[in-house]
Amino acid sequence: MDNKQNQTPLYQAIKDFKDNKNVSLHVPGHKNGEIFVSMAKEQFQSFLQMDLTELNGLDDLHAPEGVIQEAQDLAANWFKSYYTYFLVNGSTVGNLAMILATCNPGDQVLVQRNCHKSILHGMELAGVQPIFLPPSYNKINQRYTGPSVATIKQAIDTYQEAKAVILTYPDYFGDIYPLEKIVDLAHSRNITVLVDEAHGCHFSLPYISIASAVELGADIVVQSAHKMTPALTMAAYLHVQTSRVDRQKLSYYLQMLQSSSPSYPIMASLDLARYYLATYTLEQSEVLFTYIEKIRTCFTNTDDWILEKSNDPLKLCLRVKEGVNSQYVKELFEIEKLYPELTTDRHILFILGLEPTIDPVILTEKIRRITDKLIFSAKRATIEVKNHYFYEEITPLALSYAEMQHQKQKWCSWEDAIGEIAAEAIIPYPPGIPFLAKGEEIRKTTVEKIKDLFEQKINFQPSNREFGLYIYDVSEGE
């Protein structure tokens, strides 16, 4: 390991400033924690003392030349990128910026259909022409993964003007696909590869047997540091790997989209998350994998669920069996103070950390109480499971983003929406992957799936769409 990786220049500068007990005659208004709500002051005090601004010696995120630049350089060295940006508005702002910096209005862009909503928002802001790539369906795990190499090759052959391909790697459940082959294929046609790797920051560890999209040659990779590594919420990295992207343009969009008053605690946590990864030892990894095996044993297959396998060892997913209500199982976990990351109509996803956080003996007892309740539960029955809801063919939007700007909208019931064009995205959250994208034609199978999920009390964005949605009144333009 590079000895410099033992340094934390940004964190140290903030700590030194705090320890110097400087008097605040500048923003923010809490004045180093001196002014705050009394009932919360004790809990927030140490954090507030590090909540600083662009003072002498603390550098500027939007024009870094000092400790922030040093910290970003250390991150680039660790993640093996040409250049790494610190992001304080989450992976969302990275996804927006990489699309805006890479694509021009009207450009054809190949995009994985089961992408995060921020990818759709980025394409809309850029005014591109998205070509949706259908994801593959894993019949064993009963969920979608990434698009196949064959699908992407077909799309590239069909849409020969495509400027970029946008992918999600790994998926929310930690599964991967042959990304390197896709990158090589795209690059052979001079197509830029943009990757939302929100759940893959820890792939940089040599003890995790999955290569990061950075290592696999993607041009821009965005990672949520806070999802899988110890960083504050909204902390993320953007890695540039290519000369295909104008870095000055990328910097411009990040300056435009991110706060002009970036959070120093968030930036410090990015410096520290990189340090944590760089100093993570073989011994720690051995303890971790022993712990994971013990935790997985606690969740072994029951009459109510099947414990799935994932490429990512930190992802632990239960697939409930036919006739078991996943929302009720989730409620039982929460009664035991075990909060999952995600619950769908058939999956319950737990995310482990890079160190042990719960005693397997205690966990075993909690799960025993859950399974005991399920044996006698009257809430087991659920509606018939329906598998497919993404289109199985490569499809463009029914209306371009430019055309949408000139269309009027109207409210429509789900019963009457089939064949119409959606004027808003309908998004189960989490994971934030739209079942229905803005500008898509609404199909019967999609409506049936969405109504199924409403019946099972799955959370959606926007809320209050159980009975209908806004569609484009295309007759007004005729």
Q: In the chain, what are the domains?
A: 3-102+187-278 (3.40.640.10), 282-375 (3.90.1150.150), 397-477 (3.90.105.10)
If you average pLDDT over every residue of the chain, what do you get? 94
- Tell me the β-bridge partners of 195: 167, 221
Given this model, what pLDDT does residue 342 score?
95
Residue 134 is classified by DSSP as P
293: left (phi over 0), alpha (psi -120 to 50) or beta: alpha
Given this model, what pLDDT does residue 389 score?
67
Are 88 and 97 spatial neighbours (Cβ–Cβ below 8 Å)?
no
Structure tokens at 153: 């090759």
Least confidently predicted of 99-103, 317-321, 383-387, 409-413: 383-387
Q: Dihedrals φ, ψ of 365, to 5°?
A: -70, -40
- Tell me the β-bridge partners of 409: 472
Structure tokens at 58: 């603390």
Q: Is the pLDDT of residue 382 over 50?
A: no
Given this model, what pLDDT does residue 406 score?
92
pLDDT band at 134 (very low <50, low <70, confident <90, very high): very high
Cα 477 from chain centre: 37
Question: Which residue has better confidence, 122 or 386?
Answer: 122
Cα–Cα distances in angstroms (integers) from residue 293 to residues 283, 287, 320, 348, 381, in the given order:
16, 10, 21, 18, 31
Are 157 and 432 spatial neighbours (Cβ–Cβ below 8 Å)?
no
Query: What is the edge-to-edge ordering of all strands in the sheet holding 315-320?
Result: 305-307, 315-320, 347-351, 342-343
Given this model, what pLDDT does residue 283 score?
98
Distance CA 412, CA 41 (A): 49
**Mean pLDDT throughout 16-20?**
94
State pLDDT tens for residues 284-331: 999 999 999 999 999 998 999 999 999 999 999 999 998 899 999 999
At 120, which amino acid appears? L
Token pair 């795990």 in the structure block, residue: 141
Structure tokens at 206: 């040599």
Distance CA 478, CA 414 (A): 23
What b/e string do you get for 244-262 counting C-beta neighbours within 10 Å, with b at 16 or more? bbeeeebbebbeebbeeeb
**Mean pLDDT throughout 99-120?**
97
Cα 44 from chain centre: 28
**Mean pLDDT throughout 55-71?**
97
Are 100 and 31 spatial neighbours (Cβ–Cβ below 8 Å)?
no
Distance CA 305, CA 289 (A): 23
pLDDT band at 131 (very low <50, low <70, confident <90, very high): very high
State pLDDT tens for residues 440-474: 999 999 999 899 888 888 889 998 899 999 999 98
Residue 114 is classified by DSSP as S
Burial of 21 (0-12, 13-18, 19+ CB in 10 A): exposed
**Mean pLDDT throughout 258-278?**
98
Least confidently predicted of 248-252, 272-276, 463-467: 463-467
State pLDDT tens for residues 183-241: 999 999 999 999 999 999 999 999 999 999 999 999 999 999 999 999 999 999 999 99
Given this model, what pLDDT does residue 383 score?
44
Q: Is the pLDDT of residue 2 over 90?
A: no
Least confidently predicted of 9-23, 268-282, 291-305, 451-465: 451-465
127: left (phi over 0), alpha (psi -120 to 50) or beta: left
At 154, which amino acid appears? Q
Token pair 């482990």 in the structure block, residue: 352
Alpha-carbon torsion (154, 159, 164, 166), positive or negative: negative
Report the 10 Å Cβ neighbour count for 298.
Answer: 18
**What is the distance between the terminal CA atoms of the chain, rounded to a whole angstrom?**
65
Least confidently predicted of 264-278, 349-363, 367-381, 399-413: 367-381
Structure tokens at 130: 């998205």
Given this model, what pLDDT does residue 478 score?
47
**Mean pLDDT throughout 10-29?**
95
Q: Is the pLDDT of residue 377 over 90?
A: no
Alpha-carbon Rg for the chain in angstroms: 24
Helix H, strand E, coil C: the string for 375-442 is HCCCCCCCCCCCCCCCCCCCEECCCCHHHHCCCCEEEEEHHHHCCCEECCCEEECCCCCCCECCCCEC
Report the 10 Å Cβ neighbour count for 158.
Answer: 11
Given this model, what pLDDT does residue 192 score?
98
Total length of the chain:
478
Given this model, what pLDDT does residue 475 score?
77
Residue 142 is classified by DSSP as T
Given this model, what pLDDT does residue 476 score?
59
Q: Dihedrals φ, ψ of 355, to 5°?
A: -140, 160
Q: Does residue 271 sit in helix, strand or coil?
A: helix
